Amino acid sequence: MVLQVELIQLGILASLIVGLATGIGAVPVLFFKQVSHKVTDSALGFAGGVMIAASVFSLLIPAIDAGGAFVAVIGFVFGSVFVYILDKYVPHTHILKGIEGPRSTLSTVSLMILAVTIHNFPEGLAVGVGFGSGDLTLATTIAVAIALQNIPEGMAIAFPLMGVGLRKARASFYALLTGLAEPVGGIIGVLTITFMSQALPLALAFAAGAMVYVVSDEMIPESHRRGHELEATFGFLIGFVVMMILDTIFL
């Protein structure tokens, strides 16, 4: 049996690695001034498909199995509401939608980075909860899924940062930096479940609700905004299928 200390260490390390995957997606910004909207919309669709599949297969179903449908529903709703509250009341700029949240004196770049930080936190939380459960197969599946979706997300962050005046290296660095919100969520998730194992079903569903909210509220609408609905939809389907396959391989 893996010791609690080892689980905590694994959860923190995995959430850090998953967060750094955002930097892989930011690499193209070093070589290109921009990529086509069709590519970014397809990539966002793919990321959304991976996140939805991971939320269902790796978070919600285990939550229902462990605590029942009622507990899963409660956790799912609270997770969605949690991100909604952050989205509504924390000053930030929606990078994808191009719509500003509550007014703030922070710079545009700071607001953009804060927006992605808000959205990356639930992903790190999901990784931490997975490792805190002690089920390394489940935890690995969640970590791989979120790392996969972080790659196109990094690209979707870096190019808009260039669009507001940052140089290539700095835009890439800031995109990488936003992924560091995930270890924070990972630490909270793994510590909570390690020392309060009875909260596992609720925490799994909470993480699922938070991720589904992000996909529905921002990623899917953005991927359809510029007339590339078909490409985005196929990207979503491919991401969903890839996650299904990975889930089957690990389980």
* Highest mean pLDDT, choosing among 75-79, 82-86, 103-107: 75-79
Q: Tell me, what's the pLDDT at 171? A: 80
pLDDT surpasses 70 at 166:
yes
pLDDT given at position 251? 58
What is the length of the chain? 251
Retrieve residue 236's tokens: 């979503």
Q: Which pLDDT belongs to residue 233?
A: 94
Digit-coded pLDDT (tens) for 39-71 = 888 888 888 888 899 889 888 998 999 889 999
Show the tokens assigned to 124. 């790190």
Q: Indicate if the pLDDT at residue 112 is higher than 90.
A: no
pLDDT band at 93 (very low <50, low <70, confident <90, very high): low
CB 148 within 8 A of CB 242: yes
Cα separation, 66 vs 197, whole angstroms: 11
